[in-house]
Chain A
């Protein structure tokens, strides 16, 4: 181990040192696995994990493990922070650009508006000129057409008819002209007055209605608030203290109900004021109640929520186990049934008797069968939802990885001067990628890894899952990353040189993949805790295929 460190350490930057350090913690790998799970989920530990943990976290290396954990966390959070800072900077830049664009657009709009305005004035001016010309022509035409005493302009009528109202046609003389006008004026104002009166009447009616409603509201408020007040007498200093006096006051007012009909200002004010007061009281009361309720809710809910989630996981596990058992049972029952049927066919004498029994049994089984089917369907549904979640997360992960890759690419490209060691790494790496297949690599590494894990029982499932999932994770496929490149290189180095040192490889990778595994919790949980390799691989296959 030490030798390996001396080989790689000088080449690596301070950041990479961390990786080296924890890649060198070979003995820690199972516990780091465990810590990984702790980080990414709050799932309770199953028993075998406990024993598994204690086997690896011994007294001698407890400090190491703690420091390792700290460093790992520190590293990831630092990386996260840098990433976020970069994003922040980019967004700010974008924001500035957008602001500039917005300003430009605004200017453009202003300019266009000015153009429109000037065009409008131009147009109006032109129009006026044209219209004047037009009017002149019209005037001329009028003179020509009307003043020529056009004989044709005439009305031929057999006889004049009576007026629609039966009155005789009236003669207008100069004397009556003025009186006609006055009469017309009078009539017009009468019509207008009538309309205003009608509208006033309607408004008065509406007002009366509204007053009634207000009054009723007030009454109801008082009756609602006062009994509730009498009970907690001790809380007299409350804001509700005014209710009583108000209620008494109002009782007096109610007796003079006729007063409401007067639309006098003081009465109006009284009404609105008292309503406002009551309303404030009611509001505060309701708010108080709301607060209480929410408090109760909060207390009640907080724990439940967490438990229910855990319960849910456990329950699904349990139920899945159950369904498996049920399936088996059904299968055996079916077999038995068939056997029985077969024998029944042979035995004619007992067949009649058996038939009845079998029918009954069959019926029962059918019932059971349908029940199980239903259960199965439910589980299927649940599983589908899980896989869907996994798919979504896979997509998210991909997006994240892409983002990171691009960032790193940029970073890498920025580093224009490759130092000696770096270029060497590149060379080494390219040599590797040209010669060996990644898949074969992992296949190679798997049996080696299995060896140490084999000591603790129940772990193979987990490790296999990890190795399987790793090659496909996009992070490793981005070879432009200087950092992962280095670690890659180192681990490959290890693989090639000392087989004993293979163990750090998945761990180190896990470190870089931490973000992903945390995000894809539901799927990985299932994989880790169901204890069923079938579901585990299933979910992983799907997940890996996606990106």
Chain B
């Protein structure tokens, strides 16, 4: 990528901009706010801010609705107009919500009360209440058909499968309490469940249509930590506890395809991700490396280290920098506006391209505490398989983006504060990042941008999720949420900004 062509959100390339970094200025218009960078063709509009509790806000799988919770109320909005379509009242404070796969139902779990309430969008008067009673409830989820609910009782005594179609109830005993013990295949046909019996790990594969046990096998793990189906639903990845580096791959029919161990005597696997093509399995571990296994031989094809210094000048390092308040002529106001003197989170920031070698801020892990802040805590492939985004927990401010085709580091983003979460746009290689501050960050191969969330006071983005179309993004703070609409028409950009025109 040639330097100096840092384009903005979504737009492919900038023709001849030679700015040091993509820079976007904010026009202080609320609620609809338009962004335009130098020669960019991207606009971002923000919705007004709505109330929210417990970070519970989800788009429906069909993309039409948006569910959000305020205390014990569930609010369903139209994604386009944001008008309230339905308002359901639950029996207690909602702790978990989930849409059914067909977007017809939504479940609300109240773990404290051992209760699940299900609501129908088509029939607002329809209701369903599941009480787990004294057995308690710690997890609740839909089966892929959207007609069964799987409730895990306290102490993982059993999983109860409730049907919305029939009176039948199924019980699954011995579910294992672990990081990720249930996984469904993409097509919704099979469920794999981690179990623990007689001090041994097992995996059961169920057919979701009738909850028949298809396969049952024990895994060669010390203390299984997680399982995940490959997107094609033919291979199951199983990984062991962090005390031992072990990744096992099982075929749908229960055959062990391969076992992989990178090293011994040290903390092992921390995170695992399949590429959407099922071709690669990325394994992040406590040694600060990501190892990529291939689907033919199940051997490692490459190893991505995450050193704290980036020496290769070919790698672009975007450093977020605070922007000095620009005193544009004619904009000077007396008395100065409140925002200018506001807290640090409201000061604008921009990305600068750091020249190699760049040393990233690192965290000294506390050696004598459990769950040390080291290793690869998060990793995700872009939907087109081209990129892999990772976070090394001992370098908390940075996001590494790897080129999967060339199997090398591509870009590093260093934020001013620790990265809380990132998520890929479901439609294109575009990564949204939040750091718990008042900004949302977007990266695409064309460049990256830091956007201040407008509005009164602080809006600290703690979490975010994409609409499946990639056109909008829900930004969640502790008490509020808002939507960020991304438009990529050329028109918008040219209407609001020309090359060199920063405001």
Contacts and interface: CB of A to CB of B under 8 A. Distances in A.
Interface string B142-176: 00011100000101011000111111010000000
Contacts of A188: 190, 214, 252-253
A139 to B, nearest CB: 9
A152 B234 contact: no
B329 interface: no
Select the residue from B157, B165, B169, B212 with max chain A CB neighbours within 10 A. Answer: B165
Interface residues of B, number: 45
B265 A116 contact: yes
Contact of B134 (A135, A150, A187): A150
Given A161-B147, A169-B166, A153 B135 contact: yes
Contact of B251 (A153, A184, A192): A192
A188 B102 CA distance: 24
Contacts of A138: 155, 157
Contacts of A184: 207, 210, 212, 214
Contacts of B162: 155
A138 B126 CA distance: 36
A146 B189 CA distance: 29
Interface string B183-204: 0000001100000000100000
Nearest to B135: A145
A155 B189 CA distance: 25
Contacts of A154: 130-131, 133
Nearest to B166: A169
Contacts of B207: 184, 187
Contacts of B167: 160
A180 interface: yes
Contacts of B190: 188
A470 B393 CA distance: 61
Given A153-B132, A155-B129, A195-B234, A163 B253 contact: no
Question: Most chain-A CB neighbours within 10 Å: which of B164, B190, B232?
Answer: B164
Contacts of A159: 126
A151 B135 CA distance: 11
Nearest to A163: B165
B125 interface: yes
Interface residues of A, number: 43
Contacts of A124: 222
B199 A164 contact: no
Nearest to A181: B212
B133 A153 contact: yes
B314 interface: no
A132 B166 contact: no
A185 B210 CA distance: 13
A296 interface: no
Nearest to B116: A155
Contact of B233 (A128, A170, A191): A191
B232 A195 contact: yes
Contacts of B129: 155-157
B128 interface: yes
B127 interface: yes
B128 A155 contact: yes
Among B126, B127, B199, B251, the most chain A Cβ lie within 10 Å of the Cβ of: B199
Nearest to B211: A172
A146 B212 contact: no
B147 A164 contact: yes
A157 B158 CA distance: 22
Nearest to B129: A156
B446 interface: no
B101 interface: yes
B164 A142 contact: no
Given A146-B135, A152-B131, A184-B207, A132 B126 contact: no
B253 to A, nearest CB: 6
A154 B167 CA distance: 10
A142 B158 contact: yes
Given A142-B158, A192-B252, A158 B214 contact: no
22 contacts: A127-B223, A142-B157, A146-B157, A152-B131, A153-B134, A154-B131, A156-B128, A156-B129, A157-B129, A157-B164, A158-B125, A158-B128, A160-B164, A161-B164, A163-B165, A169-B163, A180-B212, A184-B207, A184-B210, A184-B214, A191-B189, A195-B234
Q: Which 3 A-B pairs have the closest CB atoms?
A: A152-B133, A153-B133, A157-B128
